[in-house]
Amino acid sequence: MTTIGIIYPDHAAEDEYPAAASLLGMRLPLAHVYGTDLHAVPELLDLGSPEKLAEGVSRLLAAVAADAVGPVDAVMWACTSGSFVYGHEGVRQQADQLAEAAGVPAASTSQSFVAAVAALGVGRVAVAASYPEEVAVLFTDFLAAAGIEVVARGSAGIDTAAEVGSLDGARVMDLALQNDHPAAEALLIPDTAMHTLDVLTAIEDRLGKPVLTANQVTIWHGLRLAGSSVVSDRLGALFTQV
């Protein structure tokens, strides 16, 4: 059984991982790193620092060993803002450091969005961000550096991950519908603190286009790094890609 280790910041929507693991028939053991949950650049730089991620790897590998579930096949830094805040090159360096510490392939949620957009074969996207505008701009800058055209960006201006984690399905749906754009070939919702998996297919049905969300793309990309592919009709168009 494929095992993808998840390093997750603080607490918000981490319950999506065991739910997805059960649905997909895989393992997603999870370890936390901690810091302030503010969506602000200095705090995000600290959250994604080499020291914090090394601590997360250590906790993850210890937990996996204690549970005797076998080695992990890949490790994911399940945080979008705590990765893209470092910029395009910084994100790559962050993933390289994570892989070296874990001894297996590794990536972040930011890299997962880029890989997912490429897999869908789309070039123009809209972004429905929960973050304050200053942080949302850094995400679209990161996408642009990867060659992805952002035709629209919406920002909900939410200051903390805890508040994002409290959003119900109706509010997530509203965020998506309000920030789509007719020229966008896909909509991106970039926050692992947001519960999206239960409403993902409903949003796609309403918009008539693929929707990529943070926890969804993190799991999908982790599977690809592990050399595995799981098809599901319950996790959006991305998971119908063979």
Check: CB of residue 81 under 8 Å from CB of residue 39.
Answer: yes
pLDDT above 80 for 242: no
CA-to-CA distance for 60 and 56, rounded, in angstroms? 6
What pLDDT score was predicted for residue 214? 98
What pLDDT score was predicted for residue 209? 98
> In the predicted model, what is the mean pLDDT of the chain?
95
Mean pLDDT within 175-195? 97
Domain identity same for 99 and 131: no
The confidence band for 67, taking pLDDT boundaries of 50, 70 and 90, is confident
Helix (H, G, I), strand (E, B) or coil at 160: strand
- Reported as a single tens digit per residue, the pLDDT across 110-169 is 999 999 999 999 999 999 999 999 999 999 999 999 999 999 999 999 999 999 999 999
pLDDT above 80 for 70: no
Full domain range(s) for residue 76: 4-111+216-230
What pLDDT score was predicted for residue 36? 81
Mean pLDDT within 96-102? 96
Residue 87: its H or E element: helix 87-102
Domain identity same for 169 and 182: yes
Look up residue 141 and give its amino acid: D
Helix (H, G, I), strand (E, B) or coil at 107: strand
Please state the domain count of the chain: 2
Residue 151: its H or E element: strand 149-155
| CATH assignment of the domain containing 152 | 3.40.50.12500
pLDDT above 90 for 66: no
- Reported as a single tens digit per residue, the pLDDT across 198-239 is 999 999 999 999 999 999 999 999 999 999 989 999 999 999
DSSP E strand stretches across 30-182? 30-33, 74-77, 106-108, 124-129, 149-155
Domain identity same for 107 and 220: yes
CA-to-CA distance for 188 and 186, rounded, in angstroms? 7
List phi, psi (to 5°) of 110.
Answer: -60, -45
Look up residue 119 and give its amino acid: A
Give the predicted TM-score (pTM) of the model. 0.97
Domain identity same for 59 and 24: yes
Look up residue 241 and give its amino acid: Q
User: In 168-213, which ranges are continuous DSSP H helix?
Assistant: 169-179, 200-207
